[in-house]
A and B are shown apart, each in its own frame.
Chain A
Amino acid sequence: MTDAAPLTAPGDAQAFADWVRPSLVPMARLAARLAPHADPDDVVQEALTRAWRKRGGYDPQRGSPTTWLLAIVADQARAARRVRLRHLRLVDEGAELPERASPQRQADLDLDRAITQLGNRQQLAVQLHYFVGLGVDETAAVMGCSAGTVKSTLFDARTKLRRLLGDTDD
C-alpha cells in the first residue's frame, strides 16, 4: 500500500477526488472497525470533508496520502463512537447470533469483543495492522509514532488479548 506522495494535497476538487480515491477502501475498513455501530460511509464522508478543509496541512514528509487520511478517519471514528455512547444502543436485528455462528465465526466474535477491551492506542494499532492490513511503518505513520513503538504496542496488545481470551502459554 504505497502511494506516490505528491508535494501537497490538490486544491482542485477534481484532482482532490482523484487523490483520495485509492484510499477509500482502507478508509472504509478502518471506519468499519473503529466505529462498528456507525455507518462506515458516514464516517468516511465526514473524514473526506475534513480532509478537504485541512488539505493545506498535508505534509508528505510525514506519510502517504493514505496514512494521512486514515489518521483523520481514526479521529472521526472516535467522534462517532462518542456520539454513539450518548444514545441508547439498539439491538441489531441483522446481527449474527452467537449460537448460530460457526465455531470459526464464534472465535472471531470473541476476538472482536476482546479487541474492544484494549486501550485506544492498542486498538488502533491492532485494527490498522491486522484488519486494515497496513505494514508496521504505515501504521506508525497513521499513529504518529515510530515503528518500534508500534511493534511494542502490538506486542502488549497481543499479550492482553491472550489474557482476555483465557489463553496463556504459562
Chain B
Amino acid sequence: MTDQQMHERLEAAGARWREQKATPLIADFAPPPRQLPSVRAHRVTWLVTAAAVIAAAVGITIPLLSGGGTAQPPAGDSSGLYGVRWTWSSSEVGVGGSRPLPPNFDLARAPFLRFEPGGRVVGSDGCNSVSGPARVEGDAIIFGQLYRSYEICHGALWKQAGEINGVLRGRVTWRIVCNVLMLQGHTGELDYDAPHRTRADMECLTRWSNKHAVK
C-alpha cells in the first residue's frame, strides 16, 4: 500500500464514520453559575444538560430566543402538577448524590410520573411501570403503596430505579421551579422536567440555583 492509498483509505474511513456517528445530543449549552457550592453546582449543571439532552433525544425543539421567565404556581396550588408527563432528570440520593443520565442510558425508558387529580400517580422508575395512590396536601404529596411491574434490570438502571422508589414513599414535599418538579423525600431529592422546556426555563433554573445555593 502506498502513502497515497493509505491517505485515501483514511479519508474514506473518516467519511463513513462521520456519516454514521457523532451527532451530539447536547442541544445547547447553559454556562454554569459562578461560585456555586460543589454538590449543588454539579447537580444544576447536570439538570440543565439533562433537560437539553432529553429534549434533543425526544425531538423537542428548544426555542432559543424565547424571552421572559416561567410563571410558577403559587405554593400549595397543585394545578400545575396534574396531567403533565414529568420526565426524570436527576436524583440526589445518598452522599454526594447520583449522576443523572448514566452512560448508555436508554432515553426511551426515562423514568416519568404523571399525577392525576383523583389522587393517583402513574409512571415508570426507568425499569418498572409504577402506579398507585398519591394525594396532594399543600406542599406535600402522600404516596401510598405503589404497584410495580416485575421486570428485572441491571447495573445503573437498577440502582437508579431503587433510588427513585426510595424517595417516592410516604410524605414527600414538592415544588415546581422553572418547569422542574422537585420532590424531596426522606432519602433524597428527585427532579423531573416538564415537556417543552425552553431556554428561559434553563436560565430561570440557573438564577434560582444561584439564589438557593446550599452554603
Residues of A within 8 A of B (CB): 13-14, 16-18, 20-21, 24-25, 27-29, 32-33, 38-42, 44-45, 48-49, 52, 94, 104, 107-108, 111, 126, 130-131, 133, 155, 158-159, 161-162, 165, 167-169
Contacts and interface: CB of A to CB of B under 8 A. Distances in A.
Interface stretch (B27-35, B165-173, B179-187): B27-35
Interface stretch (B3-11, B87-95, B131-139, B140-148): B3-11
A167 B21 CA distance: 28
Contacts of B2: 169
A162 B5 CA distance: 10
A145 B32 CA distance: 32
A41 B25 contact: yes
Contacts of A162: 1, 3, 6
**What 6 A-B pairs have minimum CB-CB distances, sorted nearest first?**
A28-B24, A167-B1, A130-B14, A29-B22, A130-B10, A52-B31
A41 B100 CA distance: 13
User: B7, B22, B28, B103: which has the most chain A beta carbons within 10 Å?
Assistant: B22
Contacts of A45: 26, 29, 45, 49
B29 A17 contact: yes
B57 to A, nearest CB: 10
Interface residues of B, number: 33
Contact of B9 (A16, A17, A94, A111): A111
Given A29-B21, A41-B53, A158-B6, A133 B45 contact: no
A26 to B, nearest CB: 9
Contacts of B29: 16-17, 20-21, 45, 48, 52
A26 B167 CA distance: 40
Given A108-B16, A162-B6, 12 more contacts: A13-B203, A14-B203, A25-B22, A33-B17, A41-B25, A42-B103, A49-B31, A52-B31, A107-B13, A111-B9, A131-B14, A161-B10
A111 B17 CA distance: 12
Given A94-B104, A158-B3, A162-B6, A130 B13 contact: yes
